[in-house]
A and B are shown apart, each in its own frame.
Chain A
Amino acid sequence: MRNPPAYKYAIIVGASSGIGAEMVRLLAEGGCTVAAVARREAPLKELAREFPNRVIPIVHDVTDFAKIPEVFLRCTDAMGGLDLVIYNSGVMPDVAPTEFDFAKDRQMIEVNLLGAIGWLDLAAERFQASRRGVIVAVGSVAGDRGRRGQPVYNASKAGLSTYVEALRNRLSGRGVIVTTVKPGPVETDMTAHLGFRGAMSAPDAARLILAKSARGSEQYLKFSHRVIFATIRLIPSWIFRHIPI
């Protein structure tokens, strides 16, 4: 696997656990200064204790949209620059097969999509002015099709994927790299209730995401995922609706 590019200043939104926390560790170990943004303070403080001069803990709820510009500036000020922004926040509440709960749906759209737009719009505006920078959105293979199990989670990740593709197109030719990463099953707190078998570990996923961060375009973490999900996308809807995934 190729080493990740040598970033000096990074913001990771959704950094308190799972893939986000592992990305913070990897970047900090590589000498990068990281603004670790998340809602929960305790795990952020733990990361900051692990890397005292490298990790800056920033407590922020991504659904507090009005605060995002201020928090964004606080991150860049504290670090002294910005090369990389990774939006990794996401929620996937347990949704029963017959359940339609607007509160849960709204939370998914707000965290998975609107929060991403709030943060990545700012990153895009800044990077298009300075004519360089890397934007990464951690999407999901779940956004590739509308599955019966998680309608709004799928929609939020599909929306994220389309939004980030549009950013990529808008910023092309301006020296800004925009990458969508679509991890498959990963062992994290968020997916613990799903009982994935053979899922990738969070440190492995984090390493792969950083390695692919500067490639631009849409990235799956494994070649097999690319093949499988390309195939899944080709399945006609009238067949797909009968598949229990």
Chain B
Amino acid sequence: MDIPTHSDLAKGNSSAPVAIRLDDVRRDSAFGYAAEADSYHHVVLNEDDITGAFAEAKRTGRRVLLRGNGRSYGDVSLSGEAICLDLRRFCSIESLDRQTGIAVVQAGASLAQIWQYCLPEGWWLPVVSGTMRTTLAGALSANIHGKNNRHTGTFGEHIEWIDFYSPARGLERIRPEDPDYWSIVGGWGQLGFIVRAAIRLRRVSSGNVLVQNVPTPTLEEMFALFESDCRSEYQVAWIDPFSHGRGVYSAANPVMSDEPTSLFVEYQEPSDRLFGRIRKDQAWKFLKPFTNRAGMRLLSRLKWEAAVRSPGTGAKMMPLATYHFPLDYVPDWQRAYRPGALRQFQVGIPIENANKAFARFLRMSQEAKLEPYLSVIKRHRPDPAVLPYLGEAYSLALDYKRTRRNADRLDRLFREMTDLAFDFGGRFYLAKDCFMTPADARRNFAPAAIEAFLAAKRKFDPTDMLTTDLFRRIQLHANT
């Protein structure tokens, strides 16, 4: 999705009333092209634009879609024929208290903008996603988790307050102690619009983390490391999807010594070229020849061999941004999946079943000759949102390439793995979902959670103005 141009902005003059015009129709895709929808785009420049759009939606009976950088993998941020509020120009960092680390940020500011502004002052985001393109409103709506979820929790746990606009109640300030807070945060934008938030940043004296990579020949050894190494703040593991479970466990901790120059943005993002030669924005083209079984088998093997051949070299120092945002190494890498689509199967399984379940998922994929191209494991603690993702659990994210030829087989595999996941007590993350049925959703969330969410929905958005394609698909809306 392109950033709005100056002519878009000229059209979207903030004082002009929002109107439905055919030449505002844009087709948005999920990140990875698993879903798409048309909507009437309007650039949000200030709060009047937001209230204007909601007024027009009320008048015409249309839905409203809140959209940032479109980093969700499924249809949670798509809404066909809705008025789409493009938040990417509503992105100011309104203030940063250099003493307390409280930053007040507008909805459309990306994690990139926030850390680039705050890191030179010695502050870093407490929780980040694998991409820095996530917007603030997106991070809160999806209540994102990072590699430090076990220790630090979710993004929503580091907020002082939010300014929240809902169709039924207008603008109000909500704090974490308010009973509705955890319906709104982690509420997938279904209740209203998080206009701005005050984030509690964490103090850092260095812009580096110390990373230790350990090759693990089996899943058992990997899980043992996760559990024994509970003092490491950041924990993540990669599995070779073409193997029986070998992989690389990676633990990291912030560097505590004073390294002021490492806080500079230039240090964090030193080059716009990979290996000093390939322009980053063109690098996905070099990835494309490998986005097939043979290519990914080769890359996975090389990654494993590289890890095995350089063991015991001790911890490696890495800039925070390089460590935290691996999905941004190769911008637009999802284009390498074209003309197919990227489908992610991201599931969380309770600790006691994770080893068995993950081994089964790998085996099922291999037997179907539909190995994922990437598989990543993280450790989680209970999520406080009303529609929670996980309890004490491990998550497994598997990236598949869906093509016209394998679509039916891949859908069957997803169906079988989904059923198996539920049998193991698994839960799915809606930011990555484009598969769940209404029945699946009722297995994914406890009845009390669904009831609480729907009660909040009826309170803030009783006419389903904000219900997106995903929530219509799984039939969780005010009129349910």
Interface residues of A (CB under 8 A from B): 73, 76-77, 79-82, 122, 125-126, 128-132
Contacts and interface: CB of A to CB of B under 8 A. Distances in A.
Contacts of A76: 38, 81
Given A77-B62, A125-B22, A130 B38 contact: yes
A46 to B, nearest CB: 27
A73 B37 contact: no
B210 interface: no
B27 A132 contact: yes
B98 interface: no
10 contacts: A79-B81, A80-B37, A81-B37, A81-B80, A122-B22, A128-B23, A129-B26, A130-B25, A130-B26, A132-B27
B23 A77 contact: no
B23 A125 contact: yes
B20 interface: yes
A126 B25 contact: yes
Nearest to A122: B22
A129 B81 contact: no
Contacts of A125: 22-23
Contacts of A79: 80-81
A73 B27 contact: no
B332 interface: no
B440 interface: no
Contacts of A73: 20
Contacts of A81: 37-38, 80-81
B337 to A, nearest CB: 18
A132 to B, nearest CB: 6
Interface in B1-45: 20, 22-27, 37-38
Given A79-B81, A126-B25, A129-B22, 6 more contacts: A77-B81, A80-B80, A80-B469, A81-B38, A129-B24, A131-B27
B203 to A, nearest CB: 46
B326 to A, nearest CB: 31
Nearest to B41: A129
Contacts of B26: 129-130
Contacts of B22: 122, 125-126, 129
Interface in B423-453: none
B465 to A, nearest CB: 14
Nearest to A123: B22
